[in-house]
Amino acid sequence: MEAKDLFDIKMVFSNIPDILRFLPVTMELAVGAMIFSLVFGLLIALIRMKRIRVLSQIAVLFISVIRGTPILVQLYVTYYGIPMFLKYLNIKNGTAYNVNNVPGIIYAFVALAINESAFNAEIIRASLQSVDKGQIEAAHSLGMTYFQVLRRIILPEAIEVALPSLGNSFIGLIKGTSLAFTCAVVEMTAQGRIIAGRNFRYFEVYCSLAIIYWVITIIIERIIKLLEKKMAIPEQIVETGKEGDVA
C-alpha cells in the first residue's frame, strides 16, 4: 500500500450524491419535529406563563428531565418504550396492535420532537415575556380577548425575538437526526455508514457527511438571516412624505 492510497479525496465527493438521496429523510424528520415542537413548545410556554395548576408543574418536570438526559438515551427509551407500551395496551384491552409494524422513523420523530419541544418551550417563553407589557395592556384596553392579543400583538414581536435562537435550535435538530440510526432509520448518516460498510472507507464517508451537514447549516443560517431582515421594522420609510407635520 502506498501513502497516496491512504486517503481518497475523490471518494469524499463521489459519495455525496449517494448520501444526498437520503436528504429528504433527514429533512422530513427535522422539519416535522420542528413544527411539532413549535406548537407543543408554545403550549408549554403558555401553561408555564399562565401558571396553570398541576399542568405547570408537569411542564417544569418535563423540561427538566428532557434537558437533563442525552438525546441518544431518549431515542433508545422511545425505541424500546413505545413497543412495550403498545404490548401493555394489547394485554390490558385485548387489542392487537402489531408492534413490529411501527416504522422506525416514527420512534425517531417522537423522540426528536419531544426533545426539541422542551428546548423550544424555554426559548418561546423567554421571547413572549420580552414583549413590552404596555402594548399588551393597550390591546386589552381596546377590548381584545387574550388570544387576539396573543396572535396580533404578542406573537409577531416574540417571533422576531425568538428567531435567532429557534434557528440555532433547528440547526441542532438537523444534526440530531444523525442519531436516528438507533431507531433503524436510514437517513444520511446511516446511509454513509452503509456505504462505508461496503468499501471500508470510513474516513472518506465521514468527511462527505461533514461537508453535507456543514453546507446545510450555512444555508439555514442564511435563510434565518433573511427572515430576520424581513421581520425587522424597516429603517426608513419610502412611501408618502416625511415632511409636513401639521403641529
Partner 1 sequence: MIGVKNLKKRFGDNVVLDGVDLTIQQGEVIAIIGPSGTGKSTLLRCIDRLERPEEGELQIGDLQVDLSRASRKDMINIRKRTAMVFQNWNLFHKKTALENVMEGLIVVKKLSKEQARQIAEEQLKNVGLYEWRNHYPRHLSGGQQQRVAIARALAMEPDLLLLDEPTSALDPELVGEVLETILKVAQEGYTMLLVSHEMSFVRKVATRVIFMENGHIIEDGTPGEIFNHPKSDRVRDFVRKIEMFNAPEYVI
Point out which residues bind partner 1 (CB under 8 A).
132, 134-135, 137-145, 148, 152-153, 156-157, 160, 233-234, 236-237, 239-247
Query: In the complex with partner 1, which residue's Cβ is closer, 130 or 199?
Result: 130
Query: In the complex with partner 1, which residue's Cβ is closer, 93 or 240?
Result: 240
Query: In the complex with partner 1, which residue's Cβ is closer, 147 or 200?
Result: 147
Name the residue with cell 419535529. 33
* Distance in angstroms (rounded) separating the CA atoms of residues 196 and 163: 37
Q: How far is the CB of 141 from partner 1 (least distance, A)?
A: 4
The burial of 8, by beta-carbon neighbours within 10 Å (0-12 exposed, 13-18 middle, 19 or more buried), is given as: middle
The C-alpha angle 106, 112, 114, rounded to 5 degrees, equals 100
Q: How far is the CB of 169 from partner 1 (least distance, A)?
A: 23
Q: The C-alpha cell of 143 is what? A: 377590548
Rg, the chain, Cα only: 24
Q: How far is the CB of 69 from partner 1 (least distance, A)?
A: 38
Query: In the complex with partner 1, which residue's Cβ is closer, 57 or 145?
Result: 145
Instruction: Note whether 177 and 112 are within 8 A (CB).
Output: yes
C-alpha distance across the termini of the chain, in Å = 87
The burial of 234, by beta-carbon neighbours within 10 Å (0-12 exposed, 13-18 middle, 19 or more buried), is given as: exposed
Q: The C-alpha cell of 183 is what? A: 431507531
Q: How far is the CB of 147 from partner 1 (least distance, A)?
A: 11
Query: In the complex with partner 1, which residue's Cβ is closer, 8 or 157?
Result: 157
Residue 185 C-alpha from the chain's centroid? 18
Query: In the complex with partner 1, which residue's Cβ is closer, 68 or 134?
Result: 134
The amino acid at residue 226 is L
Q: How far is the CB of 238 from partner 1 (least distance, A)?
A: 9
Q: How far is the CB of 246 from partner 1 (least distance, A)?
A: 3
